[in-house]
Copies of this chain bind each other. A is one copy, B any other.
């Protein structure tokens, strides 16, 4: 017997996270009230606390989920056998993954300051883990003589900044497709690391 009303936990929970994601991305965590989120979802403010402990947990869950998905998606990506091929894989993966979820990416970068100390530490660890994936590729490429960078750590930061920067200007349906952008950026990444 299907329940007629009440008990929308399976539907309302995701709706709360969706609304929070969009509003936090648009206006910033501190500028968004629980009442705004509730209005967007179509419930009263008090009802939100059935789906999240508090506002901070709501933010942390969104960021944590994003980083988990990022690491899982990269782990599941087929990779070439040479460091150079892997660098290309990483570059294309990063651009596509990030362009597909602009709101989550925006929050993950902008709202770190609004996390509690413990939550911040957790997020930082996940971010370092992701950076480390690229750094390992660059180290291997350097060891194999395939790329030429004076400092692997700086090259890691430079490449990630360059690739993530696409999110600041790319608009779906614009002049270039995601693939065209990825082609061009892969060229620039390759040049930057002297490959």
Please list the residues of chain A having a beta carbon within 8 angstroms of any beta carbon in chain B.
26-31, 110, 113-114, 149-151, 154-155, 157-158, 160-162, 164-166, 168-169, 176, 181, 184-185, 187-189, 191-194
Contacts and interface: CB of A to CB of B under 8 A. Distances in A.
A28 B191 contact: no
B191 A194 contact: yes
Contact of A169 (B26, B114, B149, B157): B157
B155 A165 contact: no
B30 A113 contact: no
A87 to B, nearest CB: 13
B28 A188 contact: no
Contacts of A30: 28-31
Contact of A165 (B110, B151, B161): B161
Leading 8 A-B pairs by shortest Cβ distance: A161-B165, A30-B30, A30-B31, A192-B192, A191-B191, A188-B192, A162-B162, A191-B192
A194 B151 CA distance: 19
Given A151-B176, A161-B164, A192-B192, 7 more contacts: A154-B185, A155-B188, A157-B166, A160-B165, A162-B162, A162-B165, A191-B193
